[in-house]
Amino acid sequence: MAGDQPLLPARPGDDVRWVPAGGLVDAVGGLPRPAGVAAGWVASEAGEVRAIRRLLLGELGVDRAQLHAAAYWKRGSSFDDLDAQNARRYAEAIAAGHDVTDPAVLEELAFS
């Protein structure tokens, strides 16, 4: 991680915090509630994304429309397992008449 730090350019006004592996949920939980409008972008392991999403929407008051959360892997599952699970969920959603291009439907599929 220390080797990655120079790759992110420092910009005035940015508040970058480097978090050790396994500490992301606690780091987000320790953030103060932002004043004004806040936005969130989260991409991580599925369990971490669910926990951080709950923190951002609940305790930190981020509006759902200002939040993008995506799980890119699931601890203990291979990519083949995840692809098969996702394909099954999408097929079920389409069969039930849901519009899988709707961001709200995609969000629900991502966290089901």
Model pLDDT for residues 70-90, shown as the tens digit of each residue? 887 778 877 788 788 888 988
**Tens-place pLDDT, residues 14-70:** 888 888 888 999 999 999 988 888 889 898 888 999 999 999 999 999 999 999 888
**pTM higher than 0.75, yes or no?**
no
pLDDT attached to residue 1: 59
Look at 5 and 93; give whichever has higher pLDDT: 93
CA-CA-CA-CA dihedral for 7, 11, 14, 20, to nearest 10: 20
Joined together, the tokens standing for residue 102 give: 């709707």
Sort 73 into a burial class: Cβ within 10 Å, 0-12 / 13-18 / 19+. middle
Which 3-state string (H, E, C) describes 17-73? CCCCCCCHHHHHHCCCCCCCCCCEEEEEEHHHHHHHHHHHHCCCCCCHHHEEEEEEE
pLDDT attached to residue 58: 93
Cα–Cα dist 43/20, whole Å: 16
Question: What is the residue-averaged pLDDT of the chain?
Answer: 85
Contact 42, 49 (CB under 8 A): yes
